[in-house]
Amino acid sequence: MSFLLSCPQCGPRDVYEFRWGGERSRRPPPDSPPETWARYLYF
């Protein structure tokens, strides 16, 4: 069984096109080193 989500821009979309990626983490300051940004952007 599948569910449809109504998107105002894309129309009905299958619920399996979306997935939960976990809790949002705090954004690092702009002057953070690249390693910090890599952890933030790529779990």
In terms of Cβ atoms closer than 10 Å to its own Cβ (0-12, 13-18, 19+), residue 13 is: middle
| Range(s) of the domain holding residue 12 | 4-42
The predicted-structure confidence for 1-43, as pLDDT tens digits, reads as follows 678 888 889 899 988 887 777 777 789 999 999 999 998 887 6
Which pLDDT value is given to residue 20? 74
Count of domains forming the chain: 1
Which pLDDT value is given to residue 1? 63
Which pLDDT value is given to residue 12? 92
Which pLDDT value is given to residue 27? 92
